[in-house]
Amino acid sequence: MKDDRFRSRKLLFGLCFAIFFTVTLTIASAESEPSIEWQKCLGGSGVDAASNIHQTSDGGYIVAGSSYSSDGNVTGNHGITDYWIVKLDTGGNIEWQKCLGGSSYDKASSIHQTSDGGYIVAGGSYSKDGNVTGNHGSSDYWIVKLDTGGDIEWQKCLGGSIEEEARSIHQTSDGGYIVAGGSYSKDGNVTGNHGERDYWVVKLEPDENEDETDLSILDINPVQVIYGCDIDEDKIVDLVAGKPIAVDVGTYLHVDRLEDLDLDQSIAFELLIDGQTCGREEKTIRELEEHRQTNIIFYPNQALEAGEHTIEAKMTPDIDDWDKDNNMLSETVEVKDTNDLYLVYVPIDETELGYFNLNPSSYGPIDMEEYASTVEDSGRFINATYPISKLTNTPMECKYYGSDLPSGSYDWLTLGGVVSDMLYIWEAGEFFTLTFADRSVGIVPDGYFEYHHIVNNPVGLYLWPINAGLVEVGYPTTTAHEIGHTYGLRLPVTGAGEEYYLKNPPYANGIWVSEKIPYTNELCFMNYAPMKYSLSRWVCDEDYEDLFKSFSTSYTPTTSLPLTNVILCSGIVYKNDTIDLMPTYFVENGITDKVPSGDYSLKILDMNKDVLDETDFDVQFFVTSDSVGTIETDVSGFAFVANYPEEASTILIQHEDKTLVEFNPHSKLLHDAIDSIPNEGFVKNPEESRKALHAKINAFEKMLEEGSFEEAQVKLEDDIEDKVKKWVVDNYQKDNPLQLSKEEVLYLINEEEDRLKIISGQ
């Protein structure tokens, strides 16, 4: 976490220099006030802050500071904020500008012209990539030597494991440099610290090899998604087992006499993993000299197993190289197992009519080709940006017809329609995959959120803590966004609050390895959505590392997951402590959910009212919507897979030990199964047949309450089962993912018959 002192200084400088960046004053006499000769505003749309300015030998000016921008006068920003170095002529016009830094916070504090006409810059850097190599921990002194055109000649990180920031630098009479600032560290380059923050003064030797030719490997950056992923904070890059990698190798060529070299001569760069060559690239001296600092990205098409591995880059420059020791560099990485991700998608189609004609407009229908494309692109993007080696991306073809209850437009209406749809989507995904799905995604047609009166017509919606989300068709990066919420990304700690960093959003840098696309300064997918059908987003360091922790710390091989008989439990919860239960479904050999704990509970009791199983769960009255933010509601929901013991007789749902709902799971499962059968599923008279079956189930439940188990057994076997066999059509066509077939209803009845024998002691 970055120090607030560092951020507050950036904001202060931004306020001071946003209006007058450079001012030259002319004094007519001792008594007259100075007048403005010229003034310039320089920067972009972000916060840009000048820290130091000096006149140069040609009468112009050199300015140093920091920039959050990537537009306007600012180009080449590497991440959040970079050193921004600007060379002005005598009239304040930009001759050149350079962004220097990496993907984190970099701020220049001091700059001076050096005796060779170049420049020496000092400040602080949190980065470990881009132009920055050798960072010791948090923020280091970052010293950069530039030539007359602003290109890097060399750079050096100085410091320890805590925080350093250089405030001033000057060239000394011997050609070296003296640097001063502050340090909290007691290790690395820092010795003798007296307590908290000390002055830290460092003398650097003169450039020893300024008249020599030297080709060096500066750094090695193994990348699967982002640069420098370190979830353990042990200064070792963490990678995902089984996920392909890229390796970004930074090189630097220092040349004093270019005419002495054959510019067309090739230099071979080689990549080795655990001693085995897995990549080779060649660059000419001309190509290397063009930018001086060149990055070569290797795509070895190799996935590593869990454990430590060594990645090495080396070259064999057949030139008069000043320092042979910097022709090779190695990096140790830690490869970790992570859980796979199983996503199920459900197409949500148009509702038939508005609720009581209060909202006669509708939405949809959904275009199934657009739906299929959204599912495919969502899978590609999530597979690229999530810390997983395997993604199961399953679209359901059977549509779910959304709730006709619009939301939020009238005082007595709530988000009940949207919450109901989200719970059904969750149930559909769990039931379709027999509880093996990790998350469910409802793909909604254009107009869905407008129909439900969600403010600003978002393109995605999530309700904590349900493992499902709603995404408008054509927005695949929003799928990654809503799934990110289900893993805790960008959620308010308590209650509703702002979701996004709109002024200073988290920027993302990395590589889409399978597509061989580097990303620099891209918006994170946890920010607002891009244009429809666009994939122009990536994932920022913080969000990716949080996901990595979630997927690795809970790692359990699929073959080791405990299987048991379960039920799908869900319901709509209101602030007045009332609950509308959703249909309950039974699954044999399913997987129970790990549920965020809260002050609600589901208790399963036996015939003696003893607790067989208990699940504490959380309910929060807010939704997060992309790109609106967090919206407070008076309605919420719960949804999880719970254990269903054979002796179960009663289920209680409580809030702070107050019972809100009590029901018999046997009769509820049967009632919900009958309700799932469509009219076309009955041989004749569907309404009358359904009503008669419900009456028989009510009689069965009353027998259970009275302890008449033998009568209940006969009722179940000889009456209810018999009528289902006679009244329900064989192999009817399902038009809803939560409809049960005749065979599934009969299987449930047989399951309840077996459970009844256990309860009655038969």
Give me 320's structure tokens.
Answer: 């008069």
User: Residue 706 and residue 432: Cα distance in Å, rounded?
Assistant: 36
Q: Are strands 400-401 and 341-349 parallel, antiparallel or unpaired?
A: parallel
**Does residue 347 have a cis bond before it (omega within 30 degrees)?**
no
User: Residue 631 and residue 175: Cα distance in Å, rounded?
Assistant: 61
| Element containing residue 696 per DSSP (H, E) | helix 686-705
Average pLDDT, the chain: 87
User: Residue 442 and residue 648: Cα distance in Å, rounded?
Assistant: 32
Binned at pLDDT 50, 70 and 90, residue 453 comes out as confident
Binned at pLDDT 50, 70 and 90, residue 322 comes out as low
User: Residue 484 and residue 618: Cα distance in Å, rounded?
Assistant: 18
Q: What pLDDT is recorded for position 28?
A: 44
Minimal CA–CA distance to 164: which of 194, 197, 131? 197
Question: With 0-12 CB in 10 A as exposed, 13-18 as middle and 19+ as buried, what is 466?
Answer: buried
CA 490, 494, 495, 501: dihedral to nearest 10 degrees? -30
Q: What pLDDT is recorded for position 205?
A: 86
Q: Strand, coil or helix: what is 704? A: helix
Q: What pLDDT is recorded for position 455?
A: 73
CA separation, residue 514 to residues 172, 357, 452, 689 (Å): 50, 50, 39, 56
pLDDT tens, 571-580? 999 999 999 9
Q: Strand, coil or helix: what is 459? A: coil
Q: What pLDDT is recorded for position 178?
A: 96
User: Residue 498 and residue 505: Cα distance in Å, rounded?
Assistant: 13
Q: What pLDDT is recorded for position 257?
A: 59
Instruction: Kindly give, in sequence order, each residue whose CB lies less than 8 Å from that of residue 303, ignoring residues fewer than 6 positions away.
Output: 241, 242, 243, 244, 245, 389
Binned at pLDDT 50, 70 and 90, residue 14 comes out as very low
Radius of gyration of the chain (CA): 33
Q: What pLDDT is recorded for position 406?
A: 62
pLDDT tens, 243-291? 999 999 988 776 655 666 778 888 899 999 999 999 999 988 888 877 7
Binned at pLDDT 50, 70 and 90, residue 593 comes out as confident
- pLDDT exceeds 80 at position 442: yes
Determine the average pLDDT of the residues in 373-378. Answer: 98
Q: What pLDDT is recorded for position 628?
A: 66
- Phi and psi torsions of 336, nearest 5°: -120, 145
Give me 114's structure tokens.
Answer: 């050096």
CA separation, residue 716 to residues 186, 447, 672, 711, 751 (Å): 76, 46, 16, 9, 11
DSSP string, 37-81: EEEE----SS-EEEEEEEE-TTS-EEEEEEE--SSTT-----SSB
Q: What pLDDT is recorded for position 601?
A: 97
Residue with tokens 């970790």: 336
Q: What pLDDT is recorded for position 10?
A: 36
Strands (E), 411-453: 439-444
Q: What pLDDT is recorded for position 135?
A: 83
Q: What pLDDT is recorded for position 162?
A: 87
pLDDT tens, 624-683? 887 667 778 889 999 999 999 999 999 999 999 999 999 999 999 999 999 999 999 999
CA separation, residue 520 to residues 103, 240, 411, 476, 480 (Å): 8, 22, 46, 20, 19
Give me 640's structure tokens.
Answer: 């999880």
Binned at pLDDT 50, 70 and 90, residue 19 comes out as very low
Give me 134's structure tokens.
Answer: 């050798």
Sheet containing 198-204: give its strands across: 164-171, 177-183, 198-204
Binned at pLDDT 50, 70 and 90, residue 461 comes out as very high
Q: What pLDDT is recorded for position 630?
A: 78
Determine the average pLDDT of the residues in 88-92. Answer: 93
Binned at pLDDT 50, 70 and 90, residue 736 comes out as confident
CA separation, residue 280 to residues 115, 269, 301 (Å): 40, 6, 13
Chain center to CA of 201: 40
pLDDT tens, 683-726? 999 999 999 999 999 999 999 999 999 999 999 999 999 999 99
DSSP string, 628-661: TEEEE-SEEEEEEEEE--TT--EEEEEETTEEEE
